[in-house]
Chain A
Amino acid sequence: MTYRIGSAEGFYGDDVLKALPMIMGGHVDVVCFEALAELTLAILQKDRLADPKRGYTFDIRTIAQQILPEAFKHKIPLITNGGGLNPLGAAEMVREVAAKMGLTGLKIAAVTGDDLHPRLSELQAMGESLAHLETGAALDLNEKMIVNANVYLGAAPIVEALRNGADMIITGRVADPCLYLAPMIAHYGWSWDDWDKLASGIVAGHLMECTGQVVGGNSLALIDSINPRDLPFLGYPIAHVEADGSFILSKTPDTAGCVTSATVKEQLLYEVHDPAHYITPDVVADFTTLRLEDLGSDQVRISGVTGRPRPKKLKLNLGRMEGYMRELIFTIGWPDAWKKVEQLKLMIDATWAKLPIERIEYHYLGLNSLYGNIAPLPEYPLEIVVRVMFTAQNADILKQAVRLMMNNGLSGPAGMSISGTTIGADPRIILGLWPTLIARERVVPEISYFEV
């Protein structure tokens, strides 16, 4: 009997209710919900600043209200990192919701210890430079306001919570594939240095952590075969894992979408750098040794994954407040369209000459906004849509810049117009990510239990 792991969330806002047919149909033994992209924690910080009880993903409420009752009835544990910056607050909310629904005996675990924001000065004093992982630049804690600092935890605290009988486990920043690896370890009792098995579990997690992307979503390979009307209803992925770590990747039976060697290949390399060294907190996985067999009927078997010892350092991502950006879109048509674009740019330069605007970027939608200069621009276009992006430290400067441009309404190049929706838009915060590494021993995960 294989152990079956379902994946019902790949980002904050995903359709978590896709867990229901997995659970009601008896197709899974556990369901994981992966909610945290690199940016998500910085976004959740805004919620937490507004209300200290928040800072977790709202999807957890949906999970608690609509999925948990069924999962608890079927004894299917639910695991999510959607606790974001406030796993304890999320667990308390779930406890209240569960109590109202009468789910007596339910045990919720909250995993914390990833939030290092309050400890940054202390960590630097202990000798952690927190230098930028890509550029090597030193981190000055006072240079820009730091919004959040979360280290990527591994599977261990989730494994412990599962062994202690938790029905729902809510974490903060646990590395995406480790969320899925944890129940495999808890079920099969894999040892923490059984690198090949751990790596195989990581590959299963990596393939499932973006839900729709392995069952027909975002697939260039399926461009001619997928029915676009099926896309909103794709059945989300399920891995059938053997005790040796090998697994069959499949999806919820009797649902739309497909799992083929092509969809698996596309997802295998998604957001991957060196495929021979896929680094996670629990193991370094080597994707180059694996075998992939398309068994048909939405089943792809993966075996032969190998692993190497886990890294001594863990990845820590800081979010820093770096200013604001704003967008304006202008439309310019024939005749002399390019000449008028140049006139627009010079007029903008003159209008904003006295404002502390930091960057101004011009892109021509439909001509070079996605692919830059990989193809030449047309010489005599009938129309040009000019997207102007500009930044400043202060949102008010951007508002003033827009007002000044509006004053030019009747004084611009001939026939120019501006997109009304962009006039009324608000400046957007620029949150810069600062990835760094810290020694593993600095990080101590904790588990708190909440019972109904």
Chain B
Amino acid sequence: MTKRLYDLAYGRAGDKGDIANVSVIARSPEAYQELKAKLSAERVKVHFGDLVTGEVMRYEMDNIEALNFVMYGALDGGGTRSLRIDGLGKSLAGALLYMTWDED
């Protein structure tokens, strides 16, 4: 079976205007080190493709072994304007956790 980011982490998405954030919370200390090393903001931006039109910022939370990704232009104008069925981006954590994760 394809290994995915979801095997290493769980998370939750939230919205503020047209900005979405997705937390990526490591399932183990080892997983956190791997995420910190390999899950860059650039990689997340590429993964989201057309869903995110602006930049992606990454913040580290060593104290709870989690990363936080903040994505600008991620909600088609924001919850009130968005024509998407999930205008608040509640499902976006799933979108990120779907990323394939190669073992090496």
Contacts and interface: CB of A to CB of B under 8 A. Distances in A.
Interface of A: 38-39, 42, 134, 213, 218-221, 261-262, 265-276, 287-292, 319, 322, 325, 359, 361, 363, 365, 369-375, 387, 389, 391, 430-433, 435
Interface residues of B, number: 45
B17 A288 contact: no
14 contacts: A38-B79, A220-B97, A266-B10, A266-B25, A269-B68, A272-B68, A273-B19, A274-B70, A275-B68, A365-B85, A370-B84, A370-B85, A371-B94, A374-B49
B12 A267 contact: yes
Interface in B74-104: 76-81, 83-86, 90-91, 93-95, 97-98
B12 A273 contact: no
Contact of B16 (A38, A319, A373, A389): A38
B61 A370 contact: no
B64 interface: yes
Given A220-B10, A271-B16, A373-B50, A433 B78 contact: yes
A322 B81 CA distance: 8
A363 B85 contact: yes
A93 B89 CA distance: 36
Contact of B59 (A274, A387, A389): A274
A391 B66 CA distance: 39
Given A266-B10, A372-B49, A288 B80 contact: no
Given A266-B12, A389-B83, 10 more contacts: A220-B93, A261-B64, A268-B23, A269-B21, A271-B14, A292-B63, A363-B84, A370-B85, A370-B86, A435-B17
Given A266-B10, A272-B21, A288-B63, A371 B91 contact: yes
A292 B13 CA distance: 21
A250 to B, nearest CB: 18
A24 to B, nearest CB: 32
A396 B68 CA distance: 43
Contacts of B77: 432
A373 B85 contact: no
A179 to B, nearest CB: 18
Contacts of B12: 213, 218-220, 266-267, 269-270
B80 A42 contact: yes
Contacts, number: 136
Interface centre among A39, A218, A372 (most CB of B within 10 A): A372
Residue with the greatest number of chain B CB neighbours at <10 A, chosen from A271, A274, A319, A389: A271
A220 B11 contact: yes
A361 to B, nearest CB: 4
A430 B80 contact: yes
B47 interface: yes
Nearest to B23: A269
Contacts of B68: 269, 272-273, 275
A274 to B, nearest CB: 6
A33 B99 CA distance: 38
Contacts of A273: 16, 19, 21, 57, 59, 68, 70
B51 interface: yes
The 7 closest A-B pairs by CB, nearest first: A271-B14, A269-B23, A389-B83, A372-B51, A220-B10, A361-B83, A270-B14
Nearest to B22: A269
